[in-house]
Structure 1
Amino acid sequence: MFNLLIKELRLAAHPNLYIFTFLGVLVIVPAYPYGMVFLFGCLGPYITFMYGRETQDIYYTALLPVKKSDVVKAKMLLVVLAQMTQLAISLPFAFLRVGVLPQGNPAGIEANVAFYGFGLIIYAVFNWIFLTTFFKTAYKVGKAFLSAIIPATLLVLAMEVVVHFPRFTWLDSIEPADLLRQLPLLLFGMVVYAAAMYSAYKISVKRFEAVDL
């Protein structure tokens, strides 16, 4: 499995996947809608899967001495690795902006605990729809992307808007007490992400097994 993942990173991953992964640094930009970071985290895998379609990567990988389930697993691990790396890259910049830009983010949610909780949920929704739809055919990338990016974008908009309502201003705070209050949302996001990826894997494997390459 490790060798298959290395193959994904070296051969299957489009260069834009790495570029979008490093865009986690955007949380340091003043007055910027940080929800865009998560949309970039969805766009990178889409471009990589589209690149794989054009290079017939799925067909090539299936010719290797691996199971179809391993093909799905490798693709999913690539997506998870890219998204988790993006979040990890953003973290030091999220801490840095507290000192550099203490006035907060007037454009939307602050890069705080709630932000990462929402982000994991956004990723979970996109990944589940995108992967399960794609592996119905292992070819129709555009349809899978459109089906997944619309609800993901709506969730980003909801995240950016909800913090402007007086009742939910604590979601936009970086005060220690409010960060603690946001912690359940982060934990919920982690559970949702893990459950979505597990479910997407099971469904995708079942659908891909029925695909005649």
Structure 2
Amino acid sequence: MVEPVAGIAAAGTAGDVVAETLRVVVSRAALQRDAVRQTVHDVEAASVQPTAPITAVPRTKLPGPATGVVPLSGKETLVGELPLTFSQPKTTAGATAEGELTAVRVQVLNEATRKASGATAVLVALSRADGVATPCQLHVRLNYTGFSNAYGGDYANRVMLDEYPACVLTTPEVRTCRNFETLKAVRWDGKLSTDITLAGDGSLTVIAI
């Protein structure tokens, strides 16, 4: 009968202990790895917020009738829903013997008057707000971004600035009163800008888009 060798049995038992220890260590490492992955996933999920759908701005509403006095500040000012900017022209001093122009009276005409004139989008009457009778030069910048899609998606690239005779406001049925001159305006960033001559003695200068 063969007796078991004690040394071999002991060695086998020690090997089993080492193997079991390694298995426990690997198992714990796997659990820790899975826990870290879950934590990272939870943090990423929490940081992602649902975004509201982007809605395109229609930009088709034409400005309604309004009146106001706008200073020559070079800063954009709303007259009703129409943003306007007035300043001294760079080419002339814009001054008169009676003094330099400081403010402009603005009237955005109603839809009926605009349609009677033949203007497409906006009809605006300008006059000196200081009561001085002498005409003067004025730099005008008109912001049309609010209605840049009023007549199709490419309207912003077709828009022009025109000047009408003042009689278009009172006798639009007279053909000559509807004859306009297209001004040499600069189109940039949704704005049209140019220099115009502002009438004196209470007369109106009429511009239109």
Give the TM-score range, shorter chain: under 0.3
The structure showing larger relative contact order (alpha-carbon pairs under 8 Å, at least 6 residues apart) is: 1
Give the TM-score normalised by the residue count of structure 1.
Answer: 0.25
Which structure: greater strand fraction?
Answer: 2
Give the TM-score normalised by the residue count of structure 2.
Answer: 0.25
Which structure: greater helix fraction?
Answer: 1
Larger Cα Rg: Structure 1 or Structure 2?
2
